[in-house]
Amino acid sequence: MNLPEEAIMSNRKDPETSSTRVPDPLGPIVSSAHLASGASPSLSEFEFGLILVSHAFERWMVRCMAAAGVKDVSALDVLVLHTVNHRGRSKKLADICLVLNVEDTHTVAYSIKKLERLKLVKSGKAGKEKTVMITAAGEQACLTYREIREALLVRTIRSLGLEESMLHDVAQRMRALSGHYDQAARSAASL
C-alpha cells in the first residue's frame, strides 16, 4: 500500500489511555486508498463510513416497512411516505424533493404514484398545484414502522450509551457536510 506517512499516522488521543495512538500500519479504513492518499485521509474514512451507513440504513428502512406490513417498496418510497406523513399536512412534489435533497423529481413522482397505488397516500390540489396527503393506511404504516423502530433499533442504539446530544452533534455536522458536498458538486458540474 502506498500511503504517505501522514495518512498512516494518527495523532488523535486514545480515549482509554489519553496517549497518542500508535501508527496504524494499514492506514485509514477506506474503500479507495487512492483517495485517502490526499490531504484528508479522515474524509475518506468518513466517506467509507457514510457508504456503509447509507446502504445499511436503506436496507433497514425497506425491511422495517415490510415488517410493518408494506412490502415491495424501495428506500426512497419509505422516505417519501414518512415525509408526506410529517406533521400531517399535505405536501407538494417540489417540497418533498427539497426536504429529501432529491434532484431527480421524476424518482419522487414515481414513488408517489407507487404509494398511491398502495393507498398509502392520496393526491389533492392546492390552487393549481398537485399535493400529496397521507391516508389512514399510510399513517398506520408509519406508526407501525415507528413501533418496530423503537423496539429493534432505538433500544439497541441506546444500549451503546450514546448520548442524545452526541447524536444531535453528529447530525448537525452531517447536514453541514452535505452542504459542502452539494457545493462541490455544483463546482464539478461547471468544469
Per-residue pLDDT of the chain (191 residues; tens, 9 = 90+): 444 444 444 444 445 555 555 556 677 889 988 999 999 999 999 999 999 999 999 999 999 999 999 999 999 999 999 999 999 999 999 999 999 999 999 999 999 999 999 999 999 998 889 999 999 999 999 999 999 999 999 999 999 998 999 999 999 999 999 999 999 999 999 99
What pTM value is reported for the model? 0.83
| Helix axes of 105-117 and 75-85: crossing angle, nearest 10 degrees | 80
DSSP secondary structure of 20-37: BPPP-TT-S--S-HHHHT
Q: Which domains does the chain have, with CATH numbers?
A: 1-69 (no CATH), 72-137 (1.10.10.10)
The answer for 148, left when phi > 0, alpha when psi is -120 to 50, beta otherwise, is: alpha
Least Cα distance to 8 among 32, 42, 47 occurs for 42
d(CA 59, CA 15): 32
The count of C-alpha atoms lying within 13 angstroms of the C-alpha of 13, restricted to the half-sphere facing its C-beta, is 5
Nearest-Å Rg of the Cα atoms of the chain is: 21
